[in-house]
Amino acid sequence: MRLKSIGIVHSPFKRVKDIPRECGSIVGEIEVFKEYEQGLEGVDRVSHLIILWLFHESKGYSLRVKPLHHEKVRGVFATRHPDRPNPIGFTVVELLERRGNVLGVRGVDMVDGTPVIDIKPRTYIWKSENEK
């Protein structure tokens, strides 16, 4: 299995513990590396994007974890905890703007510097040609 980072997250959060429980209003940027910029063609027609990213600060995994902002221990697959067998994160963000290879987004729940491994449209919310 081979994964490559296609970009990086710019967010106001420097540490995982700084991330609040609710991040729906948090604005940040997804910087797509220049070599992948052509892959953004048409992205401005989508209102929301699915961002797949890596928990790059994870130090391994546990099958039972205490989620952030909770007291009760749970199975890792019932949480969004970063210490998982495959440290892949998933966030849906609202696309605010595109500036070349940089996407302005709302709903950021990742730490600054997080590697992005893929971007997908949330396909049932397409903007019409007139709304671009």
Q: What is the pLDDT along the chain (132 residues), one digit of tens a residue?
A: 888 999 999 999 888 777 766 777 789 999 999 999 999 999 999 999 999 999 888 888 989 998 776 789 999 998 878 888 999 999 999 999 999 999 999 999 899 999 999 999 987 655 555 555
Q: Is residue 32 part of a domain?
A: yes
Q: Is residue 66 part of a domain?
A: no
Sign of CA dihedral 79, 120, 118, 23: negative
d(CA 11, CA 27): 7
φ, ψ for residue 82, nearest 5 deg: -75, -20
Q: Is residue 80 part of a domain?
A: no
Q: Is 10 exposed, middle or buried (0-12, 13-18, 19+ CB in 10 A)?
A: middle
- Largest interatomic CA distance in the chain: 49
Q: Is residue 71 part of a domain?
A: no
Q: Is residue 14 part of a domain?
A: yes
Identify the pLDDT of residue 123: 72
At 15, which CATH number?
A: 2.40.30.70
Angle made by CA atoms 20, 22, 25, in degrees to the nearest 5: 105
100 CB contacts (<8 Å, ≥6 apart)?
Answer: 37
d(CA 32, CA 98): 11
Q: Is residue 78 part of a domain?
A: no
> Containing domain of residue 22, as a range?
7-57+85-123
Domain count, the chain: 1
